Amino acid sequence: MQQQKKGTLFVFSGPSGVGKGTLNAKLFAEFGDQIAFSVSATTRAPREGEIDGKHYFFISRQEFENRIANNEFLEYAQFAGNCYGTPKPYVLSLLEQGKNVLLEIEVQGAMQVMERMPECVSIFVLPPSFEELERRLRGRGTESEEKVRARLETARGEIAYAPRYQYQIVNGEDVDAAYQQLRSIYLKETHQR
């Protein structure tokens, strides 16, 4: 029996406000039949409009601890005071089925995935400048001043990890240009080009 080709695992990171969501949405619009987005578990409260099971699985800290103890996460990390984790069985089974899987995760978790699954493809999205990132984060207006400051501080730390990723994309003025880079990385790494 011929073995089905395994999917490719993509690890996608970048500071909050850099436009990861927009780039992912474009990738999904074009290649949605080949890609699955992993839905993470988090202890953070849902934001307005977020749906349990779609954007995240919103769980308690106790439940999160239980899942760590049961080795249910491919990786997990703390970010801005909350816990986030990638469900391992879900991701592994999608890859087995030949789906390409995209993990949109922060840097600590990404380092764990790169170590555990070195065949993964890692991509970091950079802002054109730190000032621009600040402007975008404030413009989003979903967070208090204190939280924005905390996220900016975290962003500085995260950007320092960019060189450890295989690919870096700058999301500047032209989101379509950034998308073209992401698209060509995707095609190359899934052997469609």
- Cβ 20 to ligand 5GP, closest distance in Å? 7
Cβ proximity to ligand 5GP: between 19 and 85 the closer is 85
- Cβ 105 to ligand 5GP, closest distance in Å? 3
Cβ proximity to ligand 5GP: between 140 and 193 the closer is 140
97, 92, 100: which is closest to 71 by C-alpha? 92
Site residues, ligand 5GP (CB under 6 A): 16, 40, 44, 75, 77, 79, 84-86, 104-106, 108-109
Cβ proximity to ligand 5GP: between 63 and 188 the closer is 63
Q: Give CA separation, 2 vs 5, 88, 101, 192, in Å.
A: 9, 25, 22, 20
Chain residue at closest Cβ approach to ligand 5GP: 109
Cβ proximity to ligand 5GP: between 65 and 193 the closer is 65
- Cβ 70 to ligand 5GP, closest distance in Å? 16
- Cβ 141 to ligand 5GP, closest distance in Å? 14
**C-alpha to C-alpha distance for 170 and 178, rounded to whole angstroms:** 6
Other beta carbons within 10 angstroms of residue 48's beta carbon come to 5
Other beta carbons within 10 angstroms of residue 138's beta carbon come to 13
Assign residue 90 a region (left: φ > 0; alpha: ψ between -120 and 50; beta: otherwise).
Answer: alpha
Long-range contact list for 131-135, CB < 8 A, 24+ apart? 132/172, 133/15, 133/17, 133/18
Cβ proximity to ligand 5GP: between 39 and 170 the closer is 39
- Cβ 183 to ligand 5GP, closest distance in Å? 20
